[in-house]
Structure 1
Amino acid sequence: MQVDQALVLDQVTKKYGDFTAVDALSFAVRTGEVFGFLGGNGAGKTTSLRMVLDIIRPTAGSISVLGRAPGRENAPFLGFLPEERGLYRTMSAIDTIVYFGRLKGMTAGDARTEGLALLDRFGLSANVKSTVDKLSKGMAQKVQLATAVVNSPRLLILDEPFSGLDPVNQGLLEDEIRRASAKGATVVFSTHVMQHAERLCDRLLLLARGAKKFEGNLDEARALLPARLTVTSRQSLAGVAGVADCTPQGEGDAGWQDWAITLRPGASSGDLLEHCSATGIALRRFEERRASLHDVFLHMVGTEEPVK
C-alpha cells in the first residue's frame, strides 16, 4: 500500500516520571523524501525513533508508520540502523546479513543474494566469511549498514548513523542514503552533525529538549536569520531601506571601505543591490553570506550547541 505520508507523529509525548523526554511532538514525513531529525545530545531524537519502531510506547499521542500503527507487522518494510551498534561477534558477515534479512521476512536465498551484492559494493567481498570479531570497526559498521538495507526498505530509519565513522565511510553512508532515496525509499535520519543534513535533506526538523523548534526545508530554515553581506564601497549604507546594521571592517584602502551589513527581516540582498545601482553608489565587492544550518540551530536553540 502506497501512502502520501510515510511517517506521522501527532502530539506524541513520552514521560519518564516527572521528566518529559518528548513533548507534544508533531511532524509528517512525505513518502520518498530524505528527512533530517536534528538536535543536540539529549534532545529526544532517539526516544522519538524508538517510539516509531515500537521499541517503547508513547505516553500520549499517536504514530502512523506507512499508514499503520507501529508494530512487528511493519518489519518487512523497515530498515533500522541504531546509534548503539551491535552484532553477533562470532557470526560471519554474510550470515549476519542473512539473519537480519530473515527477521524482515526475506527468504534465506534472497537475503544471501542481496547480502553478497551489498558486501561487494561496500568493498567487503573478501570478508564474506569473516566473523564480526575479526573485522575492523569500519568493516563491522558496513556490515551493520547492510543489515539495515538488505530488504530494500520502504522506510529507512538511521539513528545518528555518522557517529564514529571516518570520512571515507561517512561518504559511503551518504551515497547509500542517496541510493535508497533514488530507489523510492523514505529516509529518516537523526544527527547532531549539521553538514550531513545540509547535503542530504529535502526537509528537516530541529528538536530541542523534546520539543519541535522548526520544520521545513533548508532555504526556509536559513530564512529565519537575517541576511548578512560584505560590501566594499566608498560610503556607508547605513540608513538605506532594509539595512539594519552597517559596520566598517578594517582600515579601508584608498577611499574604499569594507562593511559588514545585516539586513532587516524580509529585506533582500537583490533589493539592496538595485538601490546601489539606481543611486550611483559604487561597489567593488558585494557578497552575501548565507546562514548555515549550524547558525540556524544556534539561533533557534541557543546554548544546546550541535557539532559543526
Structure 2
Amino acid sequence: MGLPPLVMSHVTKRFGAFTAVSDLSLDVPEGAIIGFLGPNGAGKSTSLRMALGVMQPDSGSVSLFGRPPEIATLKRVGFLPEERGLYKKMTTRATIEHFARLKGLSARDARARAIELLDMSGLSEFKTTRISKLSKGMAQKVQILSTLAHRPDFLILDEPFSGLDPVNQQVLEDLIRAEHDRGATILFSTHVMEHAERLCDRIVMMARGRKVFDGTLDEAFNALGQGARIAVSEGFDLAAALAPKGFEAHRAPDKGPGDAWRISLRPGTGAQDALRAAIEAGAPIVGFAPEEARLRDVFVSLVGEADAAALIESTGEGAIA
C-alpha cells in the first residue's frame, strides 16, 4: 500500500465570524470509495477545496499523497467541481483533449483518450459538437469525462450526480465502479444518500461544518438500530403514548397520510411488538411498516430533525425515503 491519497488533520476554515468547517479530520486510504455526505451548506465543498489547496485552512493540515497540495501531487488527482464550467465554443472531443493535456498527456495520447471516453459513454456521435449545443446533462457528462481523462490515482467529485437524470445517474455510478476497479481511490460529496448506499466502502457525514460520523455502512446502520414506522392521525402524540410501554418514538418527515413516527426497537423486540403496543395505547394508526435501515435515517438520528430538514430541502424531495 502507498501513502494515503488524502489526510486532513484538525482542519478549520472561517469566513469572518462564520465557521464553515470546524476541526475536521479525514483520512482517505488508498483504494477506498468514500461518500462525503450532508445537506447543502454542511461544509463539504469548502473541505474539498482545502484538500486541493484551492483554499488554505485557518488551522490544521492537509496532505495529498504525503505532501502538501502542489503541482506534482495534484497531477495525480482528478477533480470535478460543484460549479460546472466548460468552454462553450469547443467541441466535446477538444474539451476532453484540452483537460488531458493540462494533466500531462501528449497530444496524441490526449486525442486517443478523448475518443475512448466518448465511445465508452455513448457520446461518440457528438465528438465534433460544440459544448453550447449539448443538453445540460450531456455537457455534464463531458465534464466528468474530462476529469477522468488522465487516469488519475485519486478522484474527488463534488456533487457529481447533480443535474443528471436517473439514467445518467446510473451511467455515472457504473463509471465510478469502473474507475475503482481500475485502481482509483474515490471521494465524492453528495446530499443524495442513496448513491452512497450503493457505492461506498465508507461514509463521512457532515452537519453545520462538523463531522458527525465516520465509518462503514454497517457501522452506520448499527448506530441507528432497528426500528419501525407508524403513521397516526394528525395530532396524536405517539411518543407520549408509547413511552410507558418502553418504546421511544420520534417524528419522521415522511410523506403520506397522518403524522409519521419512527419507533426505536429495544434488543429482543420487533416491529410487530411496537405495532401491538401502539394498538394497545389506542393510537389511531393509518400506516405501518417495518423499517429498512437507510442512511438518511442514520443522519436524522445523529443530528436531529432540524438538520434532517435541511437535508430534505437540499435534495428537493419532500420525504426521507
Aligned to 1:223: 222
Aligned to 1:170: 169
CA shift in 2, pair 1:214/1:107, >3 Å: same
Identity %: 51
Q: Distance in 2 between matches of 1:15 and 1:112?
A: 42
Q: Where in structure 2 are the equivalents of 1:135-150 lying within 5 Å? A: 135-150=134-149
Deviations 1:238-273 (A, max 9, x none): xxxxx94399xxxxxxxxxxxx97433xx3679x99
Aligned to 1:151: 150
User: Could you say what the CA RMSD is over the residues aligned between the two structures, in angstroms?
Assistant: 2.2
How far off its partner does 1:26 sit?
0.4
Greater C-alpha Rg: 1
Aligned to 1:51: 50
Q: Determine which of 303, 307, 319 is the counterpart of 1:304.
A: 307
Aligned to 1:122: 121
Aligned to 1:75: 74
More strand by share: 1
Which residues of structure 2 form unaligned runs of 5+? 230-244, 250-261, 274-288
In structure 1, give the amino acid aligned to 2:299: F
Which residues of structure 1 form unaligned runs of 5+? 231-242, 248-259, 274-286
Q: Where in structure 2 are the equivalents of 1:250-289 lying within 5 Å? A: 262-264=264-266, 267=267, 289=291
Deviations 1:79-118 (A, max 9, x none): 1111111100001111111110111111111111111010
Q: Distance in 1 between matches of 2:172 and 2:76?
A: 20
How far off its partner does 1:297 sit?
0.8
In structure 2, give the amino acid aligned to 1:185: A
Aligned to 1:161: 160
Q: Determine which of 240, 244, 247 is the counterpart of 1:245.
A: 247
In structure 2, give the amino acid aligned to 1:7: L
Aligned to 2:31: 32
SS at match of 1:113: helix
C-alpha contact (below 8 Å) 1:37/1:206 kept by paired residues: yes
- Between the two proteins, the alignment pairs up a number of residues equal to 267
More helix by share: 2
Aligned to 1:281: none
How far off its partner does 1:4 sit?
4.6
SS at match of 1:304: helix
CA shift in 2, pair 1:262/1:19, >3 Å: closer
Q: Distance in 2 between matches of 1:269 and 1:182?
A: 41
Aligned to 1:279: none
The question of 1:103 aligning with 2:102 is answered yes
Task: Give the TM-score normalised by the residue count of structure 2.
Answer: 0.78
